[in-house]
Amino acid sequence: MRKAVETAAQVCPVEVAVAVLGGTWKLTIVKYLLEGTLRFGELGRLLPLAGARTLTRQLRELEEDGVVDRKVFAQVPPKVEYSLTALGRSLENIVADLDRWGTNYASAAAQLGERAQQKSG
Amino acid sequence: MRKAVETAAQVCPVEVAVAVLGGTWKLTIVKYLLEGTLRFGELGRLLPLAGARTLTRQLRELEEDGVVDRKVFAQVPPKVEYSLTALGRSLENIVADLDRWGTNYASAAAQLGERAQQKSG
DNA sequence: CAGTATCCTCCGGGATACTG
DNA sequence: CAGTATCCCGGAGGATACTG
């Protein structure tokens, strides 16, 4: 259990959830993996803005937190497959809800933004 | 719209959700506000680990992102009330799900931890 | 009471170069 | 292909002192 998660556990269960899932790219990774196993390079192409080092770390943390499973094939060229654990799959509804909320938020925020512009402009 | 949120919007709706809700304390604040309006000091007492400066910033960001509403009473001693906007209230189910997931995670992680201990110890 | 101002530290995340 | 090593920067979050 990572330190951030332990601290969160002292506070509130929802805080635990954000400690595990809150990193940049993490929930998007989970969202993609919900559709099936992916190799490292495939994830990289799906997330063009994420660097290899960052992507690696996010995946390692998700692995350490028991959300994703990492399978290394001992071959040349190397091949590593990422998939969700049962814990990861249990996020399906939450991810779908957050996706809807985020979509809705984007349009709502666009209107907030317009009003803010009228205030300041 | 905060920069972090804008960046997230370029990536995926779920990333937007974590950009808005991902800060330390934020979802816990929302969880408490779902039960009713709270004053600044009350939130502070509910979150003893959060400093005043941090709490203030989280609340301001939530306000800027249209999740919470801040109402200042022009009186001495000062009084400020925080409540959820419609956007904030729309998080009710998500917060409940994350709370359940976090609770379940804590017990599942305890067992992962035991196994990890057996590996490394 | 509800903050602000100032300073500080830690670490997430990115850029680049290199490797088994 | 799937990383690691190294360096760097910005920003989140905390401690303390002060204020309208």
Q: Could you tell me if residue A9 is inside a domain?
A: yes
Q: In terms of residue numbers, what domain contains B34? A: 3-90
Residue in the block written with tokens 């497959």:
A81
Q: Could you tell me if residue A105 is inside a domain?
A: no
Task: Closest CB to A94: pick one of B15, B49, B94.
Answer: B94
What is the average pLDDT score of chain A? 90
Q: Is the pLDDT of residue A84 over 90?
A: yes
The alpha carbon torsion through A80, A83, A88, A91 (nearest 10 deg) reads 130
> What is the helix (H) or strand (E) element at residue A9, kind and residue range?
helix A3-9
Contacts of A18 in chain B (CB under 8 A): 18, 21-22, 24, 26-27, 98
A46 beta carbon < 7 A from strand D? no
Q: Could you tell me if residue B99 is inside a domain?
A: no
**What is the C-alpha to C-alpha distance for residues A106 and A103, in angstroms, rounded to an integer?**
5
Using a pLDDT cut of 90, give the percent of chain B over it: 79
> In this structure, how many other beta carbons lie within 10 angstroms of the beta carbon of residue A112?
16
Burial B26-55 (b: 16+ CB within 10 A, else e): bbbbbbbbeeeebebeebeebbeebeeeeb
> What is the helix (H) or strand (E) element at residue A22, kind and residue range?
none
Q: Could you tell me if residue A102 is inside a domain?
A: no
DSSP 8-state secondary structure symbol assigned to residue B65: T
pLDDT category of residue A121 using cuts at 50, 70 and 90 = very low
A2/A118: higher pLDDT: A2
Query: pLDDT per residue over A7-58, tens digit each?
Result: 899 899 999 999 999 999 999 999 999 999 999 999 999 999 999 999 999 9
Is B101 close to A94, i.e. CB distance below 8 A?
yes
Q: Could you tell me if residue B80 is inside a domain?
A: yes
Question: Could you give the number of structural domains in chain B?
Answer: 1
Q: Could you tell me if residue B108 is inside a domain?
A: no
DSSP 8-state secondary structure symbol assigned to residue A12: -
Burial B98-117 (b: 16+ CB within 10 A, else e): bbebbbebbebbeebeeeee
Q: Is the pLDDT of residue B121 over 80?
A: no
**What is the C-alpha to C-alpha distance for residues A82 and A68, in angstroms, rounded to an integer?**
7
Q: Could you tell me if residue B25 is inside a domain?
A: yes
Q: Could you tell me if residue A95 is inside a domain?
A: no
Which residue, among A33, A35, A32, A8, has the nearest Cα to A20 in the 3D structure? A8
Measure the CA angle with vertex B91, ends B90 and B93; round to 5°: 100
CATH of the domain at B61: 1.10.10.10
Residue in the block written with tokens 């939450």:
A94
